[in-house]
Structure 1
Amino acid sequence: MKKHNFFAGPSILSEYTIKNTAAAVLDFAGTGLSILEISHREKEFIAVVDEARALVKELLNVPAGYDVVFLGGGASLQFCMVPFNFLEKKAAYLQTGTWATKALKEAQLFGEVDIVASSKDANYSYIPKDYVIPEDAEYFHFCSNNTIFGTQMRFDPDVKTRLIADMSSDIFSRPIDISKYDLIYAGAQKNLAPAGVTIAIVREDALGRVTRKIPTMLNYKTHIENESMFNTPPVLPIYAALQTLKWYKQLGGIEVLAKMNEEKAMMLYNEIDRNKLFKGTAAVEDRSYMNICFVMNDEYKELEAEFAAFAKSKGMLGIKGHRSVGGFRASTYNALPKESVQALIDVMQEFEKAH
C-alpha cells in the first residue's frame, strides 16, 4: 500500500532529493567517500555550499546587499540570535501561535517587547489585523505560517521599522519581496531538507547596530564572513537542501510551486467545508496553504479516534493534530504530490458514506 506523508516536520522530501542524497551517502561527488564522512573543507563540499547559496538567491530573487548563511540550532536558536543582533531597547512582536510566543519570550531577555497584537484569545485561529507598530521599535517580528494552528500570512507586511520573519514552514512556497526584510530565517525540515540546518537571509547593513558584545557563534557576521564555515556545518542536510533547490528550479521556480500549493490546499479545504463530518479550525481568510487543520463536527466528535485509525489503515500518515490542540492536520508542503491530497479526500468521503 502506498503511504502518504502528511507529517508537519520533519516532513516529506521529494523523491529527487532522497535518491540523490542516498547516492551521495554511498559515494559523494566521485570522491569514493560518503557525504557522511567528507571533510567540510574539501573543495567538493565547498562547491555544494556555494551552489546552494546561489540557488537560494536565484529562486527567491534575493537582491544585492543580502547574504545567505547555513546555521545549526534550528529556528529555536534564531529566537535568541535575533534579539542578540538586532534588539537594543525595544522590539515589536506579533503573537500568532506557539513559535511566535517562544520567539517573543526569548526577546524579553534582551529588552522591552511590545506585543502589538495577539490571537491567543481565540486559540490562535486567526491572524490579527490593524495593529500599530511603535515608532521606536527597532524591528517587527512575525511568524509567517503557524504549523500548529493552521494560519498563514501570505503577504509581506509594509512597515516602517526593520522587518524580521520566521518562515520555517512556508519558505519557498510563495514569492517573497526580500527587499522588505532585514532577516528571514527558516528551519529546513519543512520545505527544504532533513532537520539539522537552518537558513538565514540577512541584510548585511542591518548588522552591527547594537552596543552589546555578541558571542562569536551567535553573531550573524561570523557566519557571513566565514561563508557558513566558521565551524563544521551540518553537512548532510546542506547537501539534501541543494538537491531540493535543484528540484525547485527544475519544476519552474517559486511561482510554479505557489500555484501547486494553492491548488492542493483548496482541494482539501473544499472537501472539509463540504463534508458533513468535518470542519476547519482557522479563520477562512487566514487559512494556511501548508498546514491544514480540521476537527470532527461537534455531533461526530465520538468518531475522531475511529477516523484516525481508518485513515492510517489507508496509508494516511501524520494527520494527527499537534498534541496541544488535537484534531487533525494535513501538512501539504511543496514535496507533497496532489495525488496524496486526493487520496486523503477519498478517505474522508469513504468514511462519510459509512457514517
Structure 2
Amino acid sequence: MPDRTDITYFGAGPALLPTDVLEKAAQALLNFNNTGLGIAEHSHRSQHATDIINQAKADLASYLDIPDDYDVLFMSGGGTGEFSATVYNLVGAWVTKKKLEILQQLGVTNEADANQDELVSALKKAVDSELKLDYLVTGGWSLKAYQEAGRLLGPEFVNLATDSRTINNGKFGKIPEESSWKLSKAPAFVYYCDNETVDGVEFPKFPESLAPQADGSGPIVVADMSSNILSRRFPVKNFSVVFFGAQKNLGSTGVTVVVIKKSLLAPACPQPSPSLLRKIGLPIPPVVFTYETIAKNNSLYNTLSIFDVYIAGQVLKKLLNTYPDKVDGQEAVANAKSALIYNALEAHPNVYKIVPDKSVRSRMNICFRVTVNGETDKAESEFLKKGTELGLTGLKGHRSVGGIRASNYNSITPDGAKKLAQFLNDFATNA
C-alpha cells in the first residue's frame, strides 16, 4: 500500500493539499485550540468562526493585494452556483442603476414620489431593449456559464461575444483575437473564465479591450478564476467580480470565494425588490445566492462550512510564510514548473501532441495526447498505467475530451514536476 509521500497527484480537482496543512486540520477536527471540541463542531455563530473567516479574508487580501474597496465573501454552491449568482446579482445591479436614470428622466429623486406604473413601464422597456450580458466562450466552463445565463434570463438577453470553436475546427484550444470580439455597447457585465481546466486554455493576460478607461469608465468584468487563483498576480481593480472554488489552489471542496467591488453592494447599489423584479419579468435570486445578504452577514447568513474556510486559511498562511513577495513568488514557481513539463512534451513531438495553441497554454492544466506507432488509446492506457506505477496519479483527461491532463496546481512541488518531466522523457524514449 503506497504512503502519501509516494504519490504525486495531478488530478484536476479536488486537488492535492499540502500535507502539513492536512495534519494541522486533522488535529483541529479533534480538538480546536484546546476547546475540547473539533472545529467542525463549533457553531458558525461562535467567535471562533468569526475569527477564522476574518483572518482568512485578511490573508487573502494581503496575498493578492486586494484593495480596501472590495469585499471577500465565502459561499456555497461552487463555481457552478456562481454561474447563476453572477447573473442574479449583476442584473439586479443593472436594474438599480437603470432605475436611477429613469427617475432622473422623470424629474424625481425619490422612488416613492414617482408614478409607479410609469416607472415600471419605463424599466420594462429598458430591460427588453437594452439588457445584455456578454460572454467570452473559450472552453467548457465558460460555455456552461453562458448556457446558464440563457436558461435564467432567456437567450435574447445573452450575447456570445466570442466562441473559440469558430477558429479551431469546432474545438476549444485557442482564444480569438480581441479585435474579433463582438462586445455589446453597454452590457450588464462581460464574463470570462481565466483558466479552462478541461481544455487547458488560459488567458495570458487581462484582455486589453476590457481594461478601464482613464476616467474610470469601462465594462463590469466578471471572471471565473477557480483553477488558477493564487498562482499569479492579476489586476484586481480591473474586475468587478472574481470568483473561485477553493478545491484547486486554495483548499478543500465545500467553499467558494467571491471578491466583489463594494460599489456593487448595498448601500451603494441595493438589490431591487422582489416585487419590482416580478413586475419587469426578471428572476428573483435565492437568498443564499444574494451577495448583498452574504456581505451584510460576513458570510454567515446560513451555516457555512467553517472547517473548509479554516483549511483555506491555513493554505494562505503557508503561502504567506513561504513567499515574502507573496503571489509573485508563487507565480515564479508555477511558471518554472509548467515550463519544465511543456519542454519535456515538446522534446518528443512524435509521441506527444499538446492540445491547446501555444499562445494560450494553461500553466495549471497541461493537456496533451499520447500516440505510439499510430495508436492513441492504447498508448494513453499504457502511459497512465506506467505513471501510476511510479506514483504519478490523476493524469487522466476530462471525460468529455479524453487524453492526458497534468494539473500543475500550487501544491505540486518542483520535485513533483521534475518527476513527471523525467517520466515523459523516459516513456517517449522507450516507446
TM-score between the two structures when normalised by the length of structure 1: 0.96
Q: Is the 8 A contact 2:89 2:290 kept in 1?
A: yes
Letter in 2 for 1:141: Y
Alpha carbons of structure 1 residues 267 and 346: separation in structure 2 relative to 1, 3 Å? same
CA shift, 1:148, in A, is: 0.5
Equivalent residue for 1:285, pick from 348, 353, 359: 359
Residue number in structure 2 paired with 1:3: 7
Letter in 1 for 2:160: I
Letter in 2 for 1:238: V
Whole-angstrom distance in 2 between the partners of 1:316 and 1:215: 42
1:226-237 alignment, distance < 5 Å: 226-237=297-308
Deviations 1:44-85 (A, max 9, x none): 221111100111111111112210010001011100011101
Residue number in structure 1 paired with 2:147: 105
Residue number in structure 1 paired with 2:258: 200
TM-score between the two structures when normalised by the length of structure 2: 0.80
Residue number in structure 1 paired with 2:175: 127
1:131-142 alignment, distance < 5 Å: 131-142=181-192
Equivalent residue for 2:45, pick from 17, 24, 41: 41
CA shift, 1:175, in A, is: 0.6
Residue 392 of structure 2 corresponds to residue 316 of structure 1:
yes
Secondary structure of the 2:29 match is helix
Deviations 1:27-56 (A, max 9, x none): 112211111211112212211111001111
Q: Is the 8 A contact 1:153 1:286 kept in 2?
A: yes
Secondary structure of the 2:57 match is helix
Residue number in structure 1 paired with 2:125: none
CA shift, 1:210, in A, is: 6.0
Equivalent residue for 1:265, pick from 303, 326, 338: 338
Deviations 1:229-270 (A, max 9, x none): 111101211010000010110111100010000000000000
| Ranges in structure 2 where 5+ consecutive residues have no aligned partner | 95-130, 211-217, 278-283
CA shift, 1:215, in A, is: 3.3
Structure with max Cα Rg: 2
Secondary structure of the 2:260 match is strand
Residue 231 of structure 2 corresponds to residue 173 of structure 1:
yes
CA shift, 1:349, in A, is: 2.1
Whole-angstrom distance in 2 between the partners of 1:28 and 1:120: 50
Residue number in structure 1 paired with 2:196: 146
Letter in 2 for 1:262: N
Equivalent residue for 2:84, pick from 80, 86, 108: 80
Q: Is the 8 A contact 2:89 2:271 kept in 1?
A: yes
More divergent stretch after superposition (80-89 vs 262-271): 80-89
Residue 18 of structure 2 corresponds to residue 18 of structure 1:
no
1:59-74 alignment, distance < 5 Å: 59-74=63-78
Q: Is the 8 A contact 1:86 1:210 kept in 2?
A: no
Letter in 1 for 2:137: Q
More divergent stretch after superposition (10-19 vs 344-353): 344-353
Deviations 1:265-287 (A, max 9, x none): 00000000102311200100100
Secondary structure of the 2:422 match is helix
Residue number in structure 1 paired with 2:161: 116
Q: Is the 8 A contact 1:75 1:185 kept in 2?
A: yes
- In the alignment of these two chains, the number of paired residues is 355
More divergent stretch after superposition (297-306 vs 286-295): 297-306
Residue 77 of structure 2 corresponds to residue 27 of structure 1:
no
Residue number in structure 2 paired with 1:243: 314
Q: Is the 8 A contact 2:11 2:393 kept in 1?
A: yes
CA shift, 1:300, in A, is: 4.4
Residue number in structure 2 paired with 1:305: 381
Letter in 2 for 1:96: T
More divergent stretch after superposition (207-216 vs 319-328): 207-216
Q: Is the 8 A contact 1:86 1:209 kept in 2?
A: no
Q: Is the 8 A contact 1:189 1:195 kept in 2?
A: yes
RMSD over equivalenced CA pairs, Å: 1.5
Whole-angstrom distance in 2 between the partners of 1:209 and 1:39: 30
Residue number in structure 2 paired with 1:342: 418
> Percent of counterpart pairs with the same letter?
31
Letter in 1 for 2:21: T
Whole-angstrom distance in 2 between the partners of 1:187 and 1:287: 21
Whole-angstrom distance in 1 between the partners of 2:206 and 2:63: 17
